[in-house]
């Protein structure tokens, strides 16, 4: 899950997230990343947390066999 860093502007957030995603994808090519709403702090508060919960719940429907 990727969310914005409130201390960075839009371009720097894009660059940071692309770098982070590339690093994780090298370690886990099958990893699916999600761009979450808000930032590191607001993603755990309403209304952003509802999007996080929906994404998490949808991920639970994927079987372990499908991720390998």
10-24: pLDDT as tens digits = 999 999 999 999 999
- Domains held by the chain: number: 1
51: CB partners within 8 A, 6+ apart: 36, 37
Nearest Cα to Cα of residue 18 among 35, 41, 37, 43? 35
Domain that holds residue 8: 2-67
pLDDT for position 61:
74
Q: What is the CA radius of gyration of the chain?
A: 13
22-68: pLDDT as tens digits = 999 999 998 888 999 999 899 999 999 999 999 999 888 765 555 55
| DSSP 8-state class, residue 33 | P
């Amino acid at each position: 899950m990727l969310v914005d860093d409130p201390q960075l502007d839009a371009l720097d957030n894009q660059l940071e997230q692309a770098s982070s995603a590339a690093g994780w994808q090298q370690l886990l090519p099958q990893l699916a990343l999600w761009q979450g709403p808000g930032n590191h702090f607001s993603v755990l508060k309403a209304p952003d947390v509802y999007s996080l919960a929906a994404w998490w719940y949808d991920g639970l429907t994927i079987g372990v066999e499908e991720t390998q």
